[in-house]
Amino acid sequence: MTTTMRRSRLHRKEHQAALVFVAIPVIGFLLFTLFPLIFSVYASFTNWNGISAPVFKGLDNYTKMFGDRYFLKSLWNTLYMMIGIPVGLVISLALALAMNRKMRGTTFFRTVYYLPVISSIAAVAILWQWAFNGDFGLINQGLSLIGIGGPNWLQDTATVKPALIIMAVWKGLGYSMLLYLAALQSVPRYLYEAAALDGATAWQQFRHITVPMVRPVTFFLIVTSIIGGSQIFVEINIMTPTGGPEFESATIVWYIWQKAFDNLQMGYASAMSVVLGLLVFTITFIQFRLNRRNQFSID
């Protein structure tokens, strides 16, 4: 009798303690995520300059958006720059395969490729800005060694997006490579052994064992890269602070930021963020549906 009493009291106390622990992130979420989210949805229906009281304007901001050529252009630019995602995945898988082999210096190379990931994006952007300088930049100096006169990367409408893509791929390589490496190392060796016994070539092994086995990682990387890629901002703002030549490098988040903080149009900016949020949500949702169809597991 007494023991059960004690146990239940202990249980209750521990339960209470647990609730307090759980409360911290929940309160954090409500305060810093859910509330701003709901508020920005509300703000998107208002004319609000960010410092005055918002004035309700219905769907004005939303209708304005679809006639705003810079909104459409920045949306297009953002999509365009996602070309870097598949490119980055292919290269990082190749690198991971190379790193997975037993050879000297892999630790060194892993560090080299991972370094950009932990570097501050602002510092990296400034470095690349110098590298892309049309006049004395590292890249054009390198190109001139093989007799190519490089373009003025960040000032030329034709090269500004590729330049930013190159940088994004470089920056993200280490992270994807590391995840692929972990995935590769957890592929059971017996699968390869069995395949080899059956006479599978290296390519067939890669195609039918490696690729499907790392698929969860690929999926994870695609989803997170698209979410991250749709929010690319810092490097744009540092490398092309005016949105690039003829607005060629302005991304959607950069445009939202400019409207909100430079041009006192917080309401309109909120509306654009809501649209962006919905787009990202939709794309991610579709990805999860497609992925469910391809899912399989080994016991």
Partner 1 sequence: MMKSRPIAATLAFVAAAGLLLSGCSAPAGAEAGGEKKLTFMFRGGEDEKKAYEKAVEQFEKDNSVDVDIIVTTADQYATKLKAAIAGKEVPDVFYISPGDVQAYVQNGIVKDITQYVENSDTIDLDNIWEYGVDSYRYDGKRVGEGAIYALPKDVGPFSFGYNKTMLEKAGIPLPDKDKPYTFDEFVAAAKKLTADTNGDGTLDQWGTGLNVQWNLQPFVWSNGGDWLNEDRTKVTVDTPEFAESLQWFADLQNVHGVTPSVAEAQTLDTYQRWMKGEIGFFPIAPWDLSTYQKLGFDWDVIPYPAGETGKSATWTGTLGIAVAESSKFPEDAAKLVEYLTANKEAQQSLVDAGIQIPNLKDMAEAWAADTSTKPANKAEFLEIVKDYGRELPAGNTFNAEWYDELFTNIQPVLDGKQSAKDYLKEAQPRMQEFLDSANQQAGN
Residues lying near partner 1 in the complex (CB under 8 A) are found at 10, 13-14, 16-17, 20-21, 23-24, 47, 49-52, 55, 133-136, 152, 154-157, 237, 241-243, 245-247, 257, 260-265
Nearer to partner 1 by Cβ, of 52 and 282: the residue is 52
The least CB distance from residue 36 to partner 1, in Å, is 10
Q: Give which of 167, 17, 3 is closest to 81, Cα–Cα.
A: 167
Helix extents (H) in the chain: 2-29, 35-43, 60-65, 69-80, 84-99, 106-118, 121-131, 138-145, 160-185, 189-197, 202-205, 211-213, 215-229, 234-239, 252-257, 266-294
Nearer to partner 1 by Cβ, of 78 and 129: the residue is 129
Nearer to partner 1 by Cβ, of 2 and 295: the residue is 2
Nearer to partner 1 by Cβ, of 90 and 148: the residue is 148
Cα angle 79, 82, 83; round to 5: 115
The least CB distance from residue 3 to partner 1, in Å, is 15
The least CB distance from residue 277 to partner 1, in Å, is 19
What's the rounded Cα separation, in Å, for the pair 38 and 52?
19
* Residue located via tokens 């954090």: 28
The least CB distance from residue 50 to partner 1, in Å, is 5
The least CB distance from residue 229 to partner 1, in Å, is 22
Question: Amino acid identity of 111?
Answer: T
Nearer to partner 1 by Cβ, of 49 and 291: the residue is 49
What's the rounded Cα separation, in Å, for the pair 262 and 256?
10
